[in-house]
Amino acid sequence: MMLSKKLGSAINKQINAELWSAYLYLSMSAYFESINFGGFANWMKAQAQEEVDHAMKFYNHIIERRGRVVLTAIAAIPTSWKSPLHAFEEAFKHEQKVTAMIENIAAIAAADKDYAATSMLQWFHDEQVEEELQTDTIVQKLKMIEKSTGGLFMLDRELGKRKKE
């Protein structure tokens, strides 16, 4: 069964959104490098790579279903934030938006009775639970730390240990 036009279009938009996410997190990584938080930068760089991997999962699904991948321009991204907390709050809000987009694709797949897409999307539902939890956990830690330099440096060291999954 081929993808419906509506579902193919939604997944193509998601590919763009995932690549935009990668740009966003890479921009956040550069921001953290500019303020000498290499651990935060490392975490965001790993997150950027994960978003590229997500885009490729959607890309491959379209190809496997004999659909047509259509890559479009990636919109401009922010390049600075007020603080590490602000950056992670924005990342959390963004992950919530991505979750809503994936839920929209799932609704289209369900309406189309496209069980292959529904199966593929289950991985993304699980992944988004993890993504939201990770970013919100860091937001909550940053709120506890407030302006404690020692706390920021400890969290920076912790985030520097993240490896690309």
| Token digits of residue 122 | 């289950």
> Would you state the pLDDT for residue 165?
62
> Would you state the pLDDT for residue 77?
97
Inside any domain, residue 19? yes
Inside any domain, residue 59? yes
Backbone angles phi, psi at 163, to 5 degrees: -105, 155
CA 99 to chain centre: 9
> Would you state the pLDDT for residue 2?
85
pLDDT digits (tens, 9 = 90+) for 60-75: 999 999 999 999 999 9
**Rounded Cα distance, 16 and 126, in Å:** 20
Range of the domain at 92: 5-159
Inside any domain, residue 15? yes
Inside any domain, residue 164? no
Inside any domain, residue 165? no
pTM of the model: 0.94
> Would you state the pLDDT for residue 113?
96
* Residue 164: HSE in the Cβ half-sphere, 13 Å Cα cutoff: 9
Tally of structural domains, the chain: 1
User: What mean pLDDT do residues 82-92 have?
Assistant: 97
Cβ atoms within 10 Å of 24's Cβ, excluding its own: 22
Residue 1: pLDDT band with limits 50, 70, 90 = confident
What's 136's domain CATH number?
1.20.1260.10
Summary count for the chain: helices (H), strands (E)? 5, 0
> Distance of CA 142 to CAs 40, 47, 68, 147, Å?
12, 18, 43, 9
Mean pLDDT score across all residues of the chain: 96
pLDDT at position 92 over 70: yes
User: What mean pLDDT do residues 6-27 have?
Assistant: 98
Inside any domain, residue 125? yes
Inside any domain, residue 151? yes
